[in-house]
Amino acid sequence: MRALPLVAVALLSTGCGGNAEAPARVLPLASPAAPGSSAPHLAVTADDRVVMSWLEPAGDGHALRFAVLDGERWSDVRTVARGAGWFVNWADFPSVTPVTARDWVAHWLVKQPGGSYAYDVALAVSRDAGASWGATFAPHDDGTRTEHGFVTLFPWEEGFGAVWLDGRYTRQDDGAGSTTARPGTVPGMTVRFARLGFDGAVHDAGEIDDLACDCCATDVALAAGGPVVTWRDRTAEEIRDIAVSRWADGRWQPPVIVGDDHWHMPGCPVNGSAIAARGERVAVAWYAAPNRQARIRLAWSPDGGAGFGAPVLVADSDVSGRVDVVLLADGSALVTWLARRADGGGELRMRRVPARGAPGEVRVVARGEVSRSSGFPQLVATGDRLVYAWTEPGTPSRVMAAWSPLD
């Protein structure tokens, strides 16, 4: 998105949601990211500050950098890592995630020989809140020259968890006369996890789903009973609906399909789901376009992700997807997504969905364009505000930020 004079939020349509008003205004934040930056990621620290990370060109490669928002000012920019052999993609972006007050984890993607989509996940841990970073390691050890990405990092027990899309079974022939695809299955991406210590030790690892959409992002929320992960499932018949699994009784439970869109899609839409939780209450938002009818929906779970009610329609007017969601203290969910205007431009829109009753008004966060270069806009909630980040396309591109007070 570009050409974004972030002013008072514009009203688009009227809902019936009375008490479900969106924030009254959106205010710009001077971005700490340099020209050429892209792929923002937002996270919140234990003391309610916002960490924004992004990619920047660095010499003949790229660097993963971040800054911390304290009040309305960003800290000095720090660098996690830099390299010349990174996989940089508009949809598969890196992250810096505070796990505890001092233990932070970062990830990025490193190319491997074997093709355009042969790359591994690189992890690094900081034990001093991002001031310094330890040696690089990977959450997977399959050694296949296939895709490993779309990572979500999250706090888990005494360390941290990682969930990602894993391509170890996508390759029919590894070039040495042997196959990595499992007999009798559709070759495709899987969803895998690892539970790790801050020393890099893997304490548990395995598969959550044996067939997933190739490049729709994962997301994880922490409910009262433990982590809950969401992703876009895939069947042998090419039905690609949103799935959820929760960690319970020491294992990931069988996936639950959230809202049966029955979306037949022979290729990946590059449009995943987002999840948020408070206590036992979980909300999942997603994009789907069954029968070419594009829409944004949200489903609620009252029991930590074990089951979900009937989905709520959030939007079905000119939607392009790339959703995010947060849960607010009043029990409502706030959903953001990209949409196209009739004049060909684009908007980042948002809508509050109460726990009961009709959704509130649809409002505009920013105007510009919708393209791959816009990336995936980010949204987080702190105690008294919402913070947004997105990539402004152009030559050069730049990561932008804004905030809304929560009245």
User: pTM of the entire structure?
Assistant: 0.92
Structurally, at CATH architecture level, domain 11-405 sits in 6 Propeller (2.120)
Q: How is the chain split among helix, strand and coil, in percent rounded to 5?
A: 0, 50, 50
pLDDT of residue 369: 75
Give residue-wise pLDDT tens across range 42-64: 999 999 999 999 999 999 999 99
Give the Å distances, CA to CA, from 220 to 186, 251, 326.
Answer: 26, 15, 12
pLDDT, position 71: 86
- Yes or no: say if 66 and 54 are a contact pair by the CB < 8 Å rule: yes
Residue 181 clears pLDDT 90, i.e. is over it: no
Q: Between 178 and 295, name the one with better pLDDT.
A: 295
Those residues with Cβ within 8 angstroms of residue 50's Cβ, 6 or more apart along the chain or in another chain: 42, 43, 44, 68, 69, 380, 382, 387
Confidence of residue 14 (pLDDT cuts 50, 70, 90): very low
Question: Residue 225: which pLDDT band, with cuts at 50, 70 and 90?
Answer: very high
Please report the pLDDT score of residue 4 as a whole number: 41
- Output 231 or 18, whichever has higher pLDDT: 231
Q: How sure is the predictor about 15, in pLDDT bands with cuts at 50, 70 and 90? A: very low
Q: What is the mean pLDDT of the chain?
A: 90
Task: Report helix, strand or coil for 187.
Answer: coil
Asked if pLDDT for residue 12 goes beyond 80, the answer is: no
Category of 366 on φ-ψ map: left (φ > 0), alpha (ψ -120 to 50) or beta: beta
* Domain limits, the chain: 11-405
The closest of 123, 129, 81, 136 to 103, measured between CA atoms, is 129
Confidence of residue 23 (pLDDT cuts 50, 70, 90): low
- What would the pLDDT profile of 320-331 be if each residue is shown by its tens digit? 999 999 999 999
Place of tokens 């040696």: 135
